[in-house]
């Protein structure tokens, strides 16, 4: 068991590299891909980078941008803030896969969430895809972020909401705040989950490790002890038992003492559905969870509640629930 968990620790960074959402050729620490495998990975990265930004399927077509008042972060938001009318923005702060500083590495997912009336913030720069502001030279090591950047993003959003000079003045619901993250980014989210301002935590293809790390891997040193600090409902999205996060997430589920929902999408693995159109099925689940948890939308909540819940009836998913009826 410990051997599996140690492999998982390494895999979180391998699998979550910016622009790469497919399963890797090997899960053995220190293993290197064959030339053929490396070429396939490079081709997949290039394919993903070539995909256009999409406005999302929500009522508010979304865009991404860097803003001067929040350095080294990327903001995803409804393109026309006036179109919100009296609707307030929820806030969705997201830790990137591999704890990387490519804030465009899950852009289709983030644009989809933003299109439903959310201010979405990811730490880093636009390093891949359309409008890249700081592309990484070929062969250069990727930069990393820490959980502190998630708190900076939340502080900035709330400050903007209170600033009469800001385009977000009075547009944000300060009680509709969610923290999320993919893989290592989920560990970042758990490191700040104790902040009383959050109303929910979303762990995407992520779970905390059961064994101590022998090397430094960004925020992957997040301890299981953090689970005792969680005060909000938690959603996990997973990619089936082939997802290297699966075993750790299922252990988290047993330990958490708050309402927990696991939405396990069969067969997609650790890469999830980030690069499917509009973030795929996982993004739909995240939006429904946010609408339920942050906006009290009972219809959205039907995806998760009741014996005959929406995901319970969908054969593509395996559902685990605790303290959610």
CB of 190 closer than 8 Å to CB of 224? no
CB of 158 closer than 8 Å to CB of 124? no
Residue range 7-21: mean pLDDT, rounded: 41
Query: What digits encode the pLDDT tens for the residues 89-147?
Result: 999 999 999 999 999 999 999 999 999 999 999 999 999 999 999 998 877 888 999 99
- Reply yes or no on whether the pLDDT at 292 is more than 60: yes
Residue range 153-180: mean pLDDT, rounded: 98
Closest CA to 75 of 39, 46, 104, 109: 104
Residue with token string 């989920």: 186
Using 50, 70 and 90 to split pLDDT, how confident is the model at 41?
Answer: confident
CB of 16 closer than 8 Å to CB of 98? yes
- Reply yes or no on whether the pLDDT at 60 is more than 90: yes
Q: What are the start-end ranges of the H helices in 118-165?
A: 148-161
- Reply yes or no on whether the pLDDT at 31 is more than 70: no
96 by DSSP, 3-state: which? coil
Query: What digits encode the pLDDT tens for the residues 182-241?
Result: 999 999 999 999 999 999 999 999 999 887 665 555 677 788 999 999 999 999 999 999
Predicted local confidence at residue 125, as pLDDT = 97
Question: Given 3.40.50.720, 1.10.10.10, 3.40.50.1820, 3.30.43.10, which CATH number is that of 2-322?
Answer: 3.40.50.1820
What global pTM score does this model have? Answer: 0.91
Residue with token string 């009318």: 85
CB of 45 closer than 8 Å to CB of 19? yes
181 by DSSP, 3-state: which? strand
- Reply yes or no on whether the pLDDT at 16 is more than 60: no
Q: Rounded CA gap, 188 and 48, in Å?
A: 24
Q: What's the burial of 211, exposed, middle or buried (CB within 10 Å: 0-12/13-18/19+)?
A: middle
Predicted local confidence at residue 216, as pLDDT = 57
Ordered by start, the domain boundaries in the chain are 2-322
């Amino acid at each position: 068991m410990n051997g599996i968990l140690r492999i998982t620790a390494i895999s979180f960074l391998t699998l979550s590299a910016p622009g790469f959402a497919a399963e890797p050729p090997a899960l053995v620490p220190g293993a290197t891909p064959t030339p053929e495998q490396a070429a396939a990975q490079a081709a997949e990265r290039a394919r993903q980078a070539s995909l256009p930004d999409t406005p999302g399927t929500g009522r508010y077509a979304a865009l991404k941008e860097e803003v001067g008042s929040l350095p080294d972060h990327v903001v995803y938001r409804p393109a026309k803030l006036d179109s919100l009318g009296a609707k307030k923005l929820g806030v969705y702060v997201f830790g990137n896969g591999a704890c990387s500083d490519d804030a465009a590495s899950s852009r289709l997912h983030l644009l989809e969430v933003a299109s439903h009336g959310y201010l979405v913030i990811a730490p880093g720069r636009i390093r891949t895809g359309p409008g890249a502001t700081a592309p990484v030279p070929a062969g250069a090591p990727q930069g990393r972020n820490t959980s502190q950047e998630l708190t900076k993003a939340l502080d900035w959003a709330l400050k903007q909401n209170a600033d009469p000079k800001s385009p977000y003045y009075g547009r944000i619901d300060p009680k509709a705040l969610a923290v999320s993250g993919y893989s290592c980014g989920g560990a970042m989210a758990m490191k700040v989950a104790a902040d009383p301002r959050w109303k929910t935590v979303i762990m995407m293809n992520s779970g905390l490790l059961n064994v101590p790390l022998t090397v430094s891997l960004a925020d992957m040193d997040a301890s299981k002890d953090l689970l005792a600090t969680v005060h909000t409902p938690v959603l996990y999205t997973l990619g089936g038992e082939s997802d290297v996060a699966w075993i750790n997430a299922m252990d988290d589920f047993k330990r958490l003492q708050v309402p927990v929902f696991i939405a396990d999408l069969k067969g997609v693995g650790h890469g999830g559905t980030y690069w499917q159109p509009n973030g795929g099925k996982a993004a739909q689940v995240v939006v429904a969870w946010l609408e339920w948890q942050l906006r009290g939308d009972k219809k959205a909540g039907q995806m998760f509640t009741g014996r005959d819940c929406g995901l319970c009836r969908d054969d593509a998913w395996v559902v685990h629930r605790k303290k959610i009826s």
